Structure 1
Amino acid sequence: MAFVTKLTFQSGDKAVLDRVVDDLKQFVERKGAECRGPHSDQPKQVSVPQYRTLQPGDQFSSWTYPVYTRRLEIHGADQIAREVGLREFPDGVHLEIEVEQKKPLGHRR
């Protein structure tokens, strides 16, 4: 059975995120694995309240920043997907990994 490794990257720094995702895609393709993406989502605006003290009440204006998302899929190539999961990424880049098992057509269960 084949596995699909889905990678979701998020960061507030678009340039760093794009560089990390492009480098990773080139790495996966050089190793001979099938890589789909990167797929982009619309940037999400996040708003964080800032309080003047530790007590709720008096606050500064909220801090608002964009979060950019890129998604890649690695089909098959389990060893390459493991290598990607062990890689170090910049502090500002968050990575979420999901592994999905694909069953062949006509497979029962």
Structure 2
Amino acid sequence: MTFVTKLTFQSGDKAVLDRVVGDLKQFVERKGAECRGPHADQPERKNVPQYRTLQPGDEFPSWSYTVYTRRIEIHGADHIAREVGHKEFPDSVHVEIEVEQKKPLGHRRN
């Protein structure tokens, strides 16, 4: 059975995000694993209301920021994916890791 490790990176700092994802892709490819991506999602614009007091009513202008997302998939090479999962990333980059088990074609469930 093959494992696919899916990594999702999000940050408000596009330059840092692109550097982290680019460095990670180079690392995975140097180790000889198959890496797909990075795939970019549309930037997502967020607005957060800011209140002057704890009571509803008087507000400051909303705080607006953009979240950028990149996705990478590592196919097979479980030891490399495990190594990636233990890497340190900048605090400004949020990382989610999902592992999916792929069964060969024609495989029957018991």
Compute the displacement of 1:59 (Å): 1.0
Structure 1: runs of 5 or more not aligned: none
Partner SS state of residue 100, structure 1: strand
1:99 aligns with 2:86: no
Structure 2: runs of 5 or more not aligned: none
Compute the displacement of 1:82 (Å): 0.8
* TM-score, with length taken from structure 1: 0.97
Cα deviations across residues 22-49 of structure 1 (Å, max 9, x unaligned)? Answer: 0000000000000000000000001111
CA RMSD of aligned residues (A): 0.7
Whole-Å Cα distance in 1 between the matches of residues 21 and 55 of structure 2? 40
Cα deviations across residues 43-86 of structure 1 (Å, max 9, x unaligned)? Answer: 00011111111223211111111100000000001111111111
* TM-score, with length taken from structure 2: 0.96
- Which residue does 1:47 correspond to in 2? 47
Partner SS state of residue 66, structure 1: strand
- Which residue does 1:59 correspond to in 2? 59
Whole-Å Cα distance in 2 between the matches of residues 41 and 35 of structure 1? 18
Runs of 4 or more consecutive aligned structure 1 residues displaced over 2 Å after TM superposition: 54-57
1:31 aligns with 2:39: no
The aligned amino acid for 1:71 is R
1:75 aligns with 2:68: no
Whole-Å Cα distance in 2 between the matches of residues 95 and 66 of structure 1? 17
The aligned amino acid for 2:42 is Q
The aligned amino acid for 2:93 is V
The aligned amino acid for 1:4 is V
The aligned amino acid for 1:40 is A
